[in-house]
Structure 1
């Protein structure tokens, strides 16, 4: 191992074909480790006072840590060893105690803020999508499966772009942690973005609907999660729209839920009449929610429940059917079963806020109020049919007469 009086010029320009340690002859124990890829790390090599075992502790990397600063840190480390301390052991203990939340804070402060204009987005993704799930875990204990659960839940909820973005952030954070020697390996290494899902056509049978609904009370789910699943079945709306429901969107007197345009997939304000069964679920949630108009009805943290949490609940707590299913299959099931009980296609699409061949014209888009009575009747019929399915009772619903349709 070469020993020399290191200079800034030498540190800046040195290149090697194999990993090489250059020992400083100014500060005892200071070593510049240079790799063929150009990475240059400052380390201190010392013998532990307790047993004389040779130890190495990393101080930092060049150029973030200059030669002058590396020498000062090396002197501090040597002094600590003289006092009977073990810098490498202490660093390992701190690393093993670090939680994912601790690591995220370090990543944002020491890397993202210094190197990324979009650092606030990294911070948001970690705070909203990652830390609520694995924030309390020890960073060294995180497994590949823990990260796959997070990104798969988003992908299965139809949020493929968010899934890919979340993966990019966690991969960068854990990669940085390896570079900075907080971790030895990254649990995100090798994880690929989820492929664009094949268009699903899964429709639950009446028996499957019954089994899922009946399983809700005993599935170890939080009350807010159970309420969301019930409203998915009773209204046929998207999970993100149900999860994001706020107090000010609901008119209890008129039994109406108005989803603002900024929360709908097609950018159109959508009015959902609430059947008595759906209204009962909403009223229960409102008794628990804050009084402000913007207060979310379904929350655990003060923020609206994320739809990926519903997808994860279905995956972990409600996979009781022979074939895998997702929350979005509920919406498809509602649409299919509404058609089965005689509700006309353009009314089903009005209920679901779909725009297609049946409602693509100007009248279909701008004359939504015309459909409110039909939507109310359709959802009432559907709620009654759902109850008969759940309770295994024969249907007693008259077909949706063509003369009643707009």
Structure 2
């Protein structure tokens, strides 16, 4: 088979280490350990003996970059040089003075082991940082370099992305200090270039109605439409909705049990599924088929979920069709919680539904599940939402639009 990202991700570990080879005589292979770690390898002959060299760990080393390294290795071999030895020498040379590319690769490799945000961090580095700094020594990056990089991002009209990039760079350079790769962080004392104010967008009942009805007219994947509706119905974070798995749902009892490894605050969470949610889940199941995910990627690889970012992009591209002022997926969550409290549901219960972290003594001693309160509140929210959608708003307290 010819390697693609989807095919690589579908290669499962076995009881013993194995190597899957690409068809077509490329000599590119993927070594897979019993623990699931995957690395690109190159098989070649040198000095009349078969040899194998490791190109790098996937996905830190992307498939595209692996092909570039493979071409370089083959070019060295064509000149009569041993690519494995030369690659090892280059690696040894970089251990003393690593490039930004090497620092980024090690940073992402470590982050991917226990941080959910590593893919977004990798995307940011690949989009705005590595094209400019890939071959520069990490220790040579100065504060002025960071400022110029961020200014360019702001100038193209992306001040918030400039803030996100600064955050990733700050974490990466601090990682370099902790790993004894660097002595200082060039991001220190640099202020965020983009102004960010706390979001307070709350959709009115009329806007919620327009959203629910008009989203079916939008040019976006059906799974994305259902995911956004499900977010409004269940009021959970967009990452938790986008990556939801059927194994966590107990339809019979009416609960969505989110394990702590999938929540932002690392606390397990129970979400009651109102009749409105159950009806929506039936439609979601029809569309998702045999996928383990509620919202599998619409691309050929259905073994991965849609990305949280795709929800934001879909809304941004369809605001005219929705006939609503700009809003983000998180605003649906805020709007739902505001309508709940505005219609008499206790704020404490709403906070439990949102899985907001408590602080201090309350966090330590409050082990009450709030299951009954959640059930009552989510059932009421389902009724409120249905009345908003159908226009029967006589018994609903209208929220002031912000």
What interval of TM-score do these two structures reach, taking the shorter chain for normalisation? 0.5 to 0.7
1:77-114 superposed Cα distances (whole Å, 9 cap, x missing partner): xxxxxxxxxxxxxxxxxxxxxxxx99655567669996
* Corresponding residue for residue 304 of structure 1: 305
Unmatched segments (≥5 aa) in structure 2:
1-61, 74-86, 92-100, 112-116, 137-148, 155-160, 164-191, 398-402
* Corresponding residue for residue 169 of structure 2: none
* Corresponding residue for residue 194 of structure 1: 162
**Contact 1:108/1:123 (<8 A) preserved:** no
Report the aligned-residue RMSD. 3.8
1:189: how far off?
10
Distance 1:170 1:303, change over 3 A: same
Distance 1:189 1:332, change over 3 A: closer
1:118: how far off?
5.3
Residues 335-350 of structure 1: pairs in structure 2 closer than 5 A: 335-350=337-352
**Contact 1:261/1:267 (<8 A) preserved:** yes
Distance 1:363 1:178 in 2: 52
1:215: how far off?
1.2
Distance 1:221 1:356, change over 3 A: same
Distance 2:342 2:327 in 1: 21
Distance 1:235 1:386 in 2: 11
1:349: how far off?
0.8
**Contact 1:104/1:173 (<8 A) preserved:** no
1:117: how far off?
6.3
1:226: how far off?
1.1
Picking from 110, 116, 134, the partner of 2:102 is 116
1:228: how far off?
0.7
Picking from 330, 333, 353, the partner of 1:351 is 353
Distance 1:176 1:361, change over 3 A: closer
Residues 323-338 of structure 1: pairs in structure 2 closer than 5 A: 323-338=325-340
Distance 1:103 1:291, change over 3 A: closer
1:200: how far off?
0.8
* Corresponding residue for residue 368 of structure 2: 367
* Corresponding residue for residue 389 of structure 1: 388
1:285: how far off?
2.4
1:272 aligns with 2:271: yes
1:169 aligns with 2:126: yes
**Contact 2:352/2:374 (<8 A) preserved:** yes
**Contact 2:255/2:270 (<8 A) preserved:** yes
1:269: how far off?
0.6
1:311: how far off?
0.6
**Contact 1:247/1:291 (<8 A) preserved:** no
1:287: how far off?
3.9
1:169: how far off?
1.9
Distance 1:358 1:224, change over 3 A: farther
Unmatched segments (≥5 aa) in structure 1:
1-100, 126-158, 180-186, 399-406
1:168-216 superposed Cα distances (whole Å, 9 cap, x missing partner): 223355348999xxxxxxx999335523632111111111111111111
Distance 1:102 1:291, change over 3 A: closer
* Corresponding residue for residue 284 of structure 1: 283
Q: Report SS of the residue matched to 2:152.
A: coil
**Contact 2:255/2:273 (<8 A) preserved:** yes
* Corresponding residue for residue 76 of structure 2: none
1:247 aligns with 2:246: yes
Distance 2:396 2:365 in 1: 29
1:395: how far off?
4.3
**Contact 1:107/1:173 (<8 A) preserved:** no
Higher relative contact order (Cα pairs below 8 Å, separated by 6+ residues): 2
Distance 1:225 1:393, change over 3 A: same
1:343: how far off?
0.2
* Corresponding residue for residue 378 of structure 1: 377
